[in-house]
């Protein structure tokens, strides 16, 4: 299983100098590798999906394999890159958008994505992009996925958000961004993350900043580490970096994190993890 970060920034992309070591694009994570065959699973379509698309446009998929895209939720920073995703304009590509939840957050997935592509906002309508699209709402909390299984857990975020647990050939990845734990760590989240090889967890705020951002739907790095400790995580990657946190700030945070949890890293755009 190969995990690649294409977008690690939260809320809004940043392009200033001093913000590029950890990345300026909003959330997008891709999972590929031999265990998944030729398919690619994408979590979220922030601006980072544009760079991913430049890679996938040259990849030849067999008839049974495709590009899968799912979402933690539909706030703008998690969908705004989709109109610039090159494979969506390729008639040979098959892209399946899906939601996995026994209580889906929307009843029309295509409509959610197409709103930002109405003529007022974008020159090309979703129906004119060209690729073969499928929109699937799976009313379940578990889905078979290319020899493994994908599970979902709803967590606290304004409007709701979902974490994902991918289990393939005994290896476990948990993707858990845009989550607010509250005064105590959410035990359901800990149970969902149990024994993962890799946990990708929201850590937009410092513990001090979190105090002034209650209700904003995010976590501190301290909370993310606590989840990792309680769940027995092997490697922790912190993501959804605040747009006000520059590279120097984030490097210092990473050092603090590693003093408490040595296998903790702040996600960097372009970084690959193999498990």
To which residue do tokens 């990792």 refer?
228
pLDDT at 59: 82
Pairing of β 161-168 and β 171-176: antiparallel
Q: How many CA atoms lie within 13 A of 70 on its CB side?
A: 26
The rounded average pLDDT for each run of 10 residues, N- to C-terminus, in the chain (275 residues) is 96 96 98 74 98 91 83 97 97 94 88 95 97 94 86 94 94 97 95 98 97 93 98 98 98 98 98 95
What is the reported pTM? 0.96
User: What confidence score (pLDDT) does residue 182 get?
Assistant: 86
Summarize pLDDT for 37-64 with one digit per residue, the tens. 578 999 999 999 999 999 999 887 766 6
Q: What residue spans define the domains of the chain?
A: 2-266
Phi and psi, residue 129, nearest 5°: -70, -45
Q: Would you state the pLDDT for residue 34?
A: 58
- Strand order across the beta sheet in which 264-266 lies: 142-145, 148-155, 161-168, 171-176, 198-202, 235-239, 264-266
How many residues in the chain? 275
Identify the CATH number of the domain defined by range 2-266: 3.60.15.10
CA atoms within 13 A on the CB side of 171: 17
User: What is the per-residue pLDDT for 4?
Assistant: 97
Read off the pLDDT of residues 149-177 as tens digits, 9 standing for 90 and up.
999 999 999 999 999 999 998 999 999 99
């Amino acid at each position: 299983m190969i995990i690649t970060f294409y977008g690690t920034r939260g809320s809004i992309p940043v392009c200033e100098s001093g913000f590029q070591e950890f990345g300026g694009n909003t959330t997008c994570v891709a999972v590929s590798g031999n265990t998944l065959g030729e398919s690619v699973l994408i979590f979220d379509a922030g601006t980072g999906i544009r760079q991913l698309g430049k890679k996938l446009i040259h990849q030849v998929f067999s008839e049974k394999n495709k590009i899968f895209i799912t979402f933690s939720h539909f706030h703008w920073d998690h969908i705004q890159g989709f109109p610039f995703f090159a494979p969506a304009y390729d008639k040979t590509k098959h892209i399946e958008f899906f939601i996995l939840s026994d209580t889906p957050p929307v009843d029309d997935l295509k409509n959610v994505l197409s709103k930002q592509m109405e003529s007022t906002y974008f020159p090309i309508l979703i129906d004119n992009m060209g690729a073969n699209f499928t929109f699937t709402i799976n009313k379940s909390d578990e889905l078979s996925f290319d020899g493994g299984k994908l599970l979902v857990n709803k967590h606290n975020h304004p409007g709701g958000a979902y974490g994902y647990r991918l289990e393939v050939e005994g290896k476990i990845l948990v993707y858990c961004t845009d989550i607010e734990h509250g005064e105590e760590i959410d035990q359901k989240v800990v149970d969902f993350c149990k024994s993962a090889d890799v946990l990708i967890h929201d850590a937009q705020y410092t513990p001090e900043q979190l105090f002034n951002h209650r209700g904003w739907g995010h976590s501190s790095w301290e909370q993310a580490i606590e989840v990792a400790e309680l769940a027995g995580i092997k490697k922790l990657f912190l993501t959804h970096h605040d747009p006000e946190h520059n590279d120097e700030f984030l490097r210092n945070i990473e050092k603090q994190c590693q003093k408490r949890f040595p296998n903790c890293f702040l996600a960097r755009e372009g970084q690959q993890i193999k498990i």
